[in-house]
Amino acid sequence: APPNCEIYREDEDCYEACQLAIEAIRYKQGSYTSQEYFSESIEMCPSFPYSFMEKAVPYLKRGQFIEWKRLIDRAVELSPTSYLGYRGWCRLQFLRDYEGAIQDIELLKQSINGDIGYCQTGDYHLNVALALCYKELGNYDKARTLIQEHLTTNQSYNDPYDYYHLGVIEYESGNYELAIQHFMKQIEVNDYLGETYYFIAMANKKLEKFEAYKQNLIKAEQYYKNGKMRSDTYTET
């Protein structure tokens, strides 16, 4: 979405920089013309965070992470509450930089009084993203607590993958019956994941319930063949 240039009316340079940024987003993201407009915008007003953020995005998508981080770090420096969550999510999604993602999201939680919001794709609340980072670092208790607190606080929302990840945490912790309960809740909320049935199958196998194992494994295969699985345009979380 374009920025609101009217809030910069009292600063002629930053107002013009904002106008240049609006011109930039009229062209294909990452194109030479678009990036040049963002560069001009930054030169016109070096304290305008939007242009740093938007100029950074194409580098992220191309895998040019050093250049992305140089630009996004400047955006975060200029407007921490606007971009800490985004940088933290990207550290998880693209770089598997779990410590860095935790640092960003925790700092965001300390910086604002209220809900910290969702990741860029809208699939994960940032508290769940935080939980996934702790899980990957082996802190299952912290990960479990964060997701449970999020689900308790946001009972009216049906995020697409929360119960699935909670189920995986219990499965990897050896709590197979509890894992199955969470996976069944995932099916109730969002029955679109072959992964859910796969893990139900694996949990039943651990419990030596071999008929349930076989049935769910077959169903998982059917879901996969029909394209019912988690997917992302850039990289799987």
Q: pLDDT, tens digit, for every residue of 135-178?
A: 999 999 999 999 999 999 887 677 899 999 999 999 999 999 99
Mean pLDDT in residue range 53-75 = 97
Q: What's the whole-model pTM score?
A: 0.93
Neighbours of 9 (CB within 10 A): 10
> How confident is the model over 196-224, as a mean pLDDT?
98
| pLDDT band (50, 70, 90) for residue 233 | confident
Q: What does each C-alpha distance from 8 to 50, 143, 192 come to in angstroms?
A: 12, 41, 45
How confident is the model at residue 156, as a pLDDT?
A: 66
Q: Decide: helix, strand or coil at residue 126.
A: helix
Give pLDDT, residue 159: 87
pLDDT of 162 reads 95
When the pLDDT of each residue in the chain is averaged and rounded to a whole number, the result is 95
What are the pLDDT digits (tens) for 88-108?
A: 999 999 999 999 999 999 999
| Cα angle 114-115-117, degrees, rounded to a multiple of 5 | 145
Per-residue tokens: 19: 């106008």
- Going from the C-alpha of 99 to that of each of 66, 155, 221, the distances in angstroms are 17, 28, 35
Phi, psi angles (nearest 5°) of residue 118: -115, 165
Identity at 107, one-letter amino acid code: L
Nearest residue to 58 (alpha-carbon basis) of 71, 77, 45:
71
